[in-house]
């Protein structure tokens, strides 16, 4: 009786191994398509954020140039109170520029990471060819 149970369990185990041996990763993961779609959406979103950050940086640089011009005019005119206000605006614009540049850098890093991950996922999803059998060395 015990031999029969061991033999039957061995047969079931062999059948299970052979049944699951031929399945590849894309057969097992039905969500692989949605994962790649989510990755693409993240990449698109990151690129949009980068464009928006670049536009903000350009606007900040323009404001800085204008503030510098106003400061220069106020110094020529001798208006110290107005020059102090322009200097404060200039300081604030420089801070905003630095923050926007840091945000741009983070977004670019995220984009690079997302692109690299998506590329790796696509590569992993592709079936790998079996290596060619090497000839046995002669004795």
What ranges in the chain are assigned the alpha helix state H?
2-21, 25-28, 32-77, 80-125
User: Which residues of the chain register pLDDT less than 50?
Assistant: 24-29
What global pTM score does this model have?
0.60
Give the rounded distance of the alpha carbon of 59 from its chain centre: 26
Q: What is the pLDDT of residue 97?
A: 93
Q: What is the pLDDT of residue 50?
A: 93
């Amino acid at each position: 009786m015990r031999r029969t149970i061991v033999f039957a369990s061995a047969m079931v185990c062999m059948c299970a191994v052979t049944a699951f041996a031929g399945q590849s990763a894309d057969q097992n993961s039905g969500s692989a398509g949605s994962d790649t779609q989510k990755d693409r959406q993240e990449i698109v979103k990151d690129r949009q954020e980068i464009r928006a950050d670049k536009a903000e940086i350009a606007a900040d640089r323009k404001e800085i140039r204008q503030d510098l011009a106003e400061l220069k005019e106020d110094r020529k005119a001798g208006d110290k109170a107005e020059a102090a206000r322009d200097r404060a605006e200039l300081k604030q614009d420089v801070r905003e520029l630095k923050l926007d540049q840091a945000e741009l850098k983070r977004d670019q890093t995220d984009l690079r990471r997302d692109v690299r991950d998506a590329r790796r996922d696509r590569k992993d999803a592709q079936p790998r060819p079996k290596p060619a059998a090497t000839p046995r060395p002669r004795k």
